[in-house]
Every structure is written in C-alpha cells, then in structure tokens.
Homo-oligomer: A and B are copies of this chain.
Amino acid sequence: MRSLPGLALPAALVLALVTPALPAAGEGPETSANLAAAATIRRIYDEALTSRAAYQNLTELVNRYPGRLSGSQHLTGAIDWAAATLRKLPLDRVATQPVMVPHWERGEPEAVSLAGPNGPVQLAAAALGGTIATPEGGISAEVVTVHTEAELNQLGAAGLRGKIVFIDAPMNPKTVTTGTAYGEAGWSRNRGPGLAARYGAVAALTRSLTLAQDDIPHTGNTSFAPGQPKLPAAALSWIAADRLAQALTANSHTQVTVALHGHWLPDAAAANLIGEIRGSEHPDQIILVGGHLDSWDIAPGANDDGAGVVQSIEVLRLFVATGIRPKHTLRCVLFVNEENGGRGGQAYAAQVRASGEKHLLAMETDNGSFQPRGFSLANINHDVGAKASRWLPLLAPYGIAFFADGSGGADVQPLAPLGIPVGELRPDSQLYFDYHHTRNDTLEHVNPRELALGAAALAAVTWLTDEQGL
C-alpha cells in the first residue's frame, strides 16, 4: 500500500456512516453533554495509545511468571507482583481476598505414541487438567474413535471397556465466531473423558480445541463427577489427531501407548487481588473490571489472561493518569483459579452476597488482547445491552460496534444471580484459539496497540457507567 491522497479515511468518518444513533431520551449526539463525553473518552484513548504501561506490565508478568496454575509458585509470585503493581499506581486501597484453590499438577511430561511398522511414532499431546496418571510405563490398548457425545453414549461399556477412546470432535471451521465453535466442541474435553471413564475406558485422547492446523497440543480442564471413576486423558495436537485418525483408518487394531503423570495435591492458599479508586460521591457503589491471574501450567498466559490482568490494572491507571475522578468506586479484581475451579470468582460473589456491597456493573476481560469490537452484557432484570447501545456513537470512532445482550465471563458470572449487570469485552476472535492453553500463548502474539485499545474501551464504558448509569 502506498499513500494516496484520501486513501485512508479517519475511522470516525467511516464508522459514522454505519453507526446506529441510539441517544438516550432527550439526548442526541450533538448535545453539549455528549460533546463533553466525547472529549473525555478521547483523553482516555490518547493516554492509552501513547503509554506503554499495559504492555510493560504484561511483559513483566509473562516473563517472570509463566505457567501460573493454581497451587504453583508462579501463581504466588504473580499475586505478589500484582499487589506491588497496583500499589505503585497509586490507589486508594489495595487488598487481598484469601481463596483456597485446587492444586493439580501435570508431573513428568506426557508421552503418547502410536505403534508403527518402524517402531513407535510420538504424538504431540498435553494431559488435560484434573486427569490421573497412567500406571508406570503407560497404558497400551486399541483405540475406539467417537465423534459425538451420542456416539460415545451409544457405544457404552460394551464398546469402550478396556479401550483408549479417541474423541475426535473438531471445532467447526464454518462458525465465524470462534468462541461459539469452542463452546460447541467443548463437550469433548469437558465431559467426554469422564463419560469414557464411566464406560470403563482405560484412557481418553481428545483433539485439541483449536482451528490451528499445527503440532501444538492445547490443554484445558476436564471434569469427573464426584464419586465417578477418573482416567488419564490428554489432548492431541491437530496434526497428531490427524495422524492417529489416518493410522486407525489404515489399521483399526493400531495400538496406542499413553503415559501420563497427572495428580492432585491438597488445596493451596491463593488470593484474589483488589485495587480501588474511591468514588467521590458514592464510594459504597462499585464498578468492577477484572481478569484472572492464573494460567495453564504449560502456557505463558499472555493472552489467557495476562492481557485481561494488565487491561484491568490499566483501566485504573487511565483514570489516575488523566485525572478523571470517578463518582463511584472503581474496583479492579484480579481473580485466581479461573482455569480449573473458578474458586476466585465464586469467593468474590460469596463476599458480595454476604456484605451486600452494591455493584453498578461487573465487567471482565478474558478473550485475548485482540482488536476490541464490542461488549457482551447481561442482567437478570432488563436488557442492559440495548441500554448500553446508546453509547455506540461515542465509541464507534474507536471500532466498538456492539453491546450484545449476552453474558459475563466465568469470573463475574457468579454475580449475575445477585442482580448485578455483568459483562465482558469482546475482541476479534479469529486468533485466540490458535494459542489458547498452549506453550504458544506468548507475548509475541500480543500487539501493544490492540492491548491498549481494549483497556481504553473498558475504561470508556467504566466512565460512561460512572457518569450516566447503566
């Protein structure tokens, strides 16, 4: 691309053409109140786009504390780092909420191999969180492939006892929003191994939940119902899953050997981190922005959810740096144990229920650092997405195109039953599951400007909620 005169239009101009004007009753976009709001939002974005603070914080967090799984020393280090980072802003209050978290460890690296004419062929695999170890030396058995949950149930104990089950349920590439495809294929990792265990399978292999056709396995949590049998289970990379499928097509009696070392330890001490700017008029009323500090053990956790952590911190820093004093208390909450238990989000909601603390809005950012596009919002009492849509003309110049009536993320969703509006930032979804829960979730897949645009979008909605209510 060369620069032609008029080649590039300002985003404001472009988006003005397509942005629905949904002003609040009696307030159109041209009122002086809206002009003042536009100017404040511009200040927030200017600060975000000219500061490297969020990216520098992410660099520190990811380089010092990769693999921040619940129970790990790196999670403890990350909690301490976050507390020190919040204190430096400075804020009116920094506090911790102690939370006991489950403690699962992968143990020695997993090994999955395929018997071949020239000896075993290694398959790239990652044990799933919550799974148990194989006996010393691994388990060797024939493989039964299933593609759907119905197929798994249909085979039942007669078809699965003593076998290794290969749950080959890829994410649907035709689905444009990858989060939807992830949700639809999620049973294969979430429930599939537990079902296979109940039918007497000796191990389970899943296809990684990704659309990236590479050799990187994606871990993630799997659940075994209380009192039901467990088994060793691992996710294969896309390429390894294809290789296994091909081998089984060629010879349905192909033997696979699985050696996993997952094990549980006693619950460990951890804590949610809380940082606050005290509201000037309604200090007892809270607007919350949060992300989660923990990550999978094998993942540096840059996008999941280092990005959300530093964006949540950045929202407070943007208020401090621009000198915008909020009327309500702005609270950043950095949750623990989102990945394999949700204890941080549950503990926070329990505290709110017990204390009766009033929250105007609780927003989460846990969908990666990519270009922000909109927000999902949910409230049990009314369509809060439609209400927030009156702000679109103010946010469209920055690429924010929707407030959808949807849900919050996993950490703020437990606040929804209390009647609190919950929401989450919705960035572009194409790249997130390429790196999700892998060793590839690295800093190089975070663009500093996209990260900053996400933080600014959260700060703008925070400020609009503070000024105008939701």
- Interface residues of A, Cβ cutoff 8 Å to B: 1-11, 13-15, 17-20, 45-46, 49-50, 52, 173-180, 182-183, 186, 190, 211, 213, 220-221, 304-305, 338-339, 342, 366-367, 371, 373-374, 376, 385-386, 389, 392, 397-399, 401-407, 409-410, 413, 426, 428, 430-432, 434, 436, 447-450, 453
Contacts and interface: CB of A to CB of B under 8 A. Distances in A.
A428 B426 contact: no
A431 to B, nearest CB: 6
B404 A9 contact: yes
Contacts of A221: 2
B3 A367 contact: no
Contacts of A213: 52, 448
Given A389-B17, A430-B371, A430-B449, A2 B338 contact: yes
> Which 9 A/B pairs are nearest by Cβ-Cβ distance?
A8-B179, A3-B186, A14-B404, A18-B402, A11-B177, A8-B180, A3-B183, A9-B406, A11-B176
A4 B436 CA distance: 16
A57 to B, nearest CB: 16
Nearest to A10: B180
A379 to B, nearest CB: 14
A173 B50 contact: yes
6 contacts: A1-B367, A2-B410, A3-B190, A17-B385, A45-B174, A213-B448
Contacts of A402: 14-15, 17-18
A367 B401 CA distance: 21
Given A9-B376, A14-B374, A20-B18, A453 B176 contact: yes
Contacts of A220: 2
Contacts of A11: 176-177, 180
Contacts of A180: 8-11
Nearest to A46: B174
Nearest to A374: B14
Nearest to A211: B449
